[in-house]
Every structure is written in C-alpha cells, then in structure tokens.
Structure 1
Amino acid sequence: MRLDKYLCEAGYGTRSEVKKLLRSCIVTVNGERVTKSETKIKDGDVVCVAGKEACFSRVEYWMLHKPAGYISATEDKKLDTVLELLPENARSDLFPVGRLDRDTEGLLLLTNDGKLAHYLLSPKRHVDKTYYARIQGRVKSEHVQAFLEGLDIGDEKKTLPAELRILKSGPESEIEVTIREGRFHQVKRMFEVIGCEVTYLKRLSMGSLKLDETLEIGACRPLTEEELRKLKEETGCWTE
C-alpha cells in the first residue's frame, strides 16, 4: 500500500492533507524519515507520525443508531446516506449490512467485511431480526398465530414463521416482532395484511447484535470485541 493511502486510512486526513504532513518531515517508516507519498508500506512496517505509531484496521465494524430521514446506501445524489453519520476516521469503504427504510430507525451495522455481511444477509441462514413498532389499529391475539403460521403478502411464498409479541393493544397498538428474512418492506406489508398500518418502526437487534440504547439517535460506535465474537460465532464466519 502507498504511504499516503495508509495515512489516509489511519485517519490523518485527505490525500492533500497527508501530502502536507509528509512535507513537514514528521513521518517515519521503521525509524527513517519519509517524505514521498508513493513510498510502499509492507506488512510489518512501523509508520509513525510525530513519534506516535499510525495504525488502522483493515476491517471495521460500526453500530449505528439510525435516525429517520437517512437511506441505507453508500451514496445518493439527492438524499442523505447513513455513511454521512460515521466519524471522519472511519474507513472509506464501509457499507450498510442490509437496508432499513428511510423512515425506519434503529440498529444498523456498517462494515467492510463482505464475508460477514453475506452470512448475515443470506436468505438460507434466516438470521433473526427484531423490531419495535407502533401500529395504527388493534393487534389481537389471533394475529400472533397468523404471524406464526406465515402470511401471504403478495409474494410467491408466504412469509416464514414470525414471532409477534403484543405490548399494547388498542386503537394504537405497540408490538415487537421477530422475522427471519428480509423481504421488501416486510414488516409493513405483514401488518397491512391484517388491516393495520405501521406508523413507527425501529430495529432492535440482528442476530446476537442488539442496539445499544445508550447510543443517541444518529450516533455510532465500533462494535465491542464481545459483540463481534458473538456475531462471528453464530454465523461461523471468521475473517483472517
């Protein structure tokens, strides 16, 4: 990897900012001062800036408490994307694992680990995803069984069994629902089938990963070692 790219990925700014840094003669590689951007960095090389080692992770995992109004995409010419909520020192090649609707809040994992993302999103693996929702309409005990049996939402197949928990039943109901697939607008379409409308939706968990409720809406943080270990254990996915 080129030295300027290495320093950019380590959070020292843009390419132009890194070039200025190199011209200031405070960057060393294995103890030797280096000023050329094109200098090649190999595994095992020690890069320091002003005497402090410059390190970066080739693979990163971020938990985001997604707010409404942002789309789960890496770029868009008109709309705000979730990547805009990441800190400046985050890697530039991160992407959201799966999609939350623009108006949906809650847990979103962002990473550049394509292997883990594939394992979490693969339709064959049926990773549990739990949501909290406010529903316009009365959700009844009979709907719990209907969700468990699977619903016809207009696709070729019924939905897989889903676990519906009624927190409050009334003109406006509150529920938690766990689904094991990720069809387009699935939760909203499931409630439409029973004559109800989702007015608020928030994802609480994905597999073993649970939303850190101390994270303010719009805030993010790296996954803890324990969170990452559990994710990789349940998927059997270990990145070298």
Structure 2
Amino acid sequence: MAKTMRLDKLLAHVGIGTRSEVKKYIRHGWVEVDGAKAKSASVHINPETQVVLYKGEPVIYKAHVYFMMNKPQGVVSATEDRREQTVVDLLEEEDQVYDVFPVGRLDKDTEGLLLLSNHGGLAHGLLSPKRHVAKTYEATVDGPVNGKDIEAFKAGVVLEDGYVTMPAELEILSSGDHKSETRLTIYEGKFHQVKRMFESRGRIVVFLKRISMGPLKLDPDLMPGEYRALTEEEAQALLAQAGVGEE
C-alpha cells in the first residue's frame, strides 16, 4: 500500500516552495487535489493515486531519484562543505530539493562516474563490503607498468598499513618510461585505494577517472560537471546489484 503524506510536505519535496510558502499558495487557491481546491496544508494524500495540481499543472511525485554525474576535478564528494564546492552544488535547484547525496566518494582530484541519490537502501547495498561491487578506473601513472604488476594486483597487494587488498584486475593500455595508461577494476573501496595500490608497486597516480560502478557505466556524452537522471533500466540494474527494491 502506498504511503500517504501531508500536502505541504509533498509540494516542498518537489520544489514548489517551503512549507510556509506552500501554505500561502493554498490560501491563494493555487493548489487542487482531485479537482477541488485544497483547503489545508496538513491534509494527508496518496501521491501515487491522487491528482495534485499547482497552478493547473500536475505535481509529479518521485520518492527516489538517481543521477549519474561526471564529477570534475576540484569538487568534493559531499552534500555540503564550508570551504569547498561540492557535487551537490553542481545540481540544478529543482534536483537539489530531493536531498540527494553521493553514493560513495571520489577524491577531490579524481573525476568520473559518481552516483547521487536519496535512496539510502541503494547506497547501503552498493557500498556494503559483503557485495564486492566492481568499480573500474582509468589511471595514468608515472613510469612503466608491466606483467609483474598485473600478477601482483591479481594476487592482492599489501598496502602501507599492512592491509592486503582483494584480487584486482589490471589492464595496461600503454606503458612508457615516463607514463603509463592503465585500467583497474577493484571490488572493495578502501580509502584512496587505487592510489595506494599503485604506490605499493612504486608508482604514483597522476590522473584518475572512474568509468563504471557495478552495472552502471559513465555516459560518454557527459562532460565533467554534467549529470543526468538514470534511465529506468540503469536504475533497476543498480537496485538489483544492491539487492534492494524501490520501496
């Protein structure tokens, strides 16, 4: 059974206005429920079965939203920060009203795929250490990379604090004396893990970009700083990966 909610909460949730502003709109007669002008902001409605209009336009309720962002460098993966620009700051106001948060983190100097949502169950499922969700990165490192690095990553490397990583898949795209291009897939999410894994092999990551997370792949049409809503197929695939539903 669908949940009911207060009319003012619904209108605030979709960005019509604050709760105090919504009360004024109702008094002005701008809000209708099932063809009748609303009389109270506190009335409970079922947003899935009842028709709500604001100034004659239907109010579309979405309990959960999912956005794919190509995170740019220089922006922090947080909902708010007093000193730095956050990924949420990059969202349009109409999308910020859904109170989304980044699912997982990318370092400030790392770019690429970042999922933002207000679905706590999805975030918990995708980030759970028990699920081993694959995350693939493109990493540019200083110096050469070779087959010994591939084998080391496949076996699991020892980080500077003694932690032994899970087996990871390293692909060498190009290798040179001064720079190498690689693609690395890991199945866990330790702090600065990709950088620390390469450091264990004597290499420094000079550029890092995440290109996939579970079944979700970065849309090549998204420029750094741009984002879009997930398609229904993408959202359902992520929910399945996380082992949760829409409710």
When the two structures are superposed, what TM-score results if normalisation uses the length of structure 1? 0.93
Partner of 1:92: helix, strand, or coil? Answer: coil
- Spell out, residue by residue over 1:71-105, the C-alpha distance to the aligned partner (whole angstroms, 9 max, x if none): 11112111111111122222432111111001110
Identity across aligned pairs (percent)?
52
Shift of 1:30: 1.6
Contact 2:31 2:38 in 1 (8 A): yes
The equivalent of 1:213 in structure 2 is 220
The equivalent of 1:102 in structure 2 is 108
Q: Aligned partners of 1:85, 1:16: CA distance in 2, in Å?
A: 26
- Structure 1 stretches of 4+ with a deviation exceeding 6 A read none
Q: Aligned partners of 2:205, 2:80: CA distance in 1, in Å?
A: 27
Contact 2:136 2:184 in 1 (8 A): yes
Contact 1:72 1:81 in 2 (8 A): yes
User: Do structure 1's residue 22 and structure 2's residue 26 form an aligned pair?
Assistant: yes
Q: Aligned partners of 1:15, 1:137: CA distance in 2, in Å?
A: 57
AA at the equivalent of 2:223: E
- Spell out, residue by residue over 1:28-66, the C-alpha distance to the aligned partner (whole angstroms, 9 max, x if none): 012111254334334533210122210120111111111
Contact 2:160 2:200 in 1 (8 A): no
User: Do structure 1's residue 150 and structure 2's residue 156 form an aligned pair?
Assistant: yes
Q: 1:238 to 1:42 in 2, by over 3 A?
A: closer
Contact 1:9 1:89 in 2 (8 A): no
The equivalent of 2:165 in structure 1 is 159
User: Do structure 1's residue 123 and structure 2's residue 133 form an aligned pair?
Assistant: no
Q: Aligned partners of 2:171, 2:27: CA distance in 1, in Å?
A: 61
Q: CA RMSD in A?
A: 1.7
The equivalent of 1:52 in structure 2 is 57
Partner of 2:63: helix, strand, or coil? Answer: coil
Partner of 2:197: helix, strand, or coil? Answer: helix
The equivalent of 2:238 in structure 1 is 231
Contact 2:132 2:187 in 1 (8 A): yes
Contact 2:65 2:98 in 1 (8 A): no
2:15 to 11, 14, 22: 11
User: Do structure 1's residue 41 and structure 2's residue 45 form an aligned pair?
Assistant: yes
Shift of 1:162: 0.6
Contact 1:150 1:161 in 2 (8 A): yes
The equivalent of 2:36 in structure 1 is 32
Contact 2:126 2:241 in 1 (8 A): no
Q: Which runs of 5+ in 1 are unaligned?
A: none
Shift of 1:234: 3.0
When the two structures are superposed, what TM-score results if normalisation uses the length of structure 2? 0.90
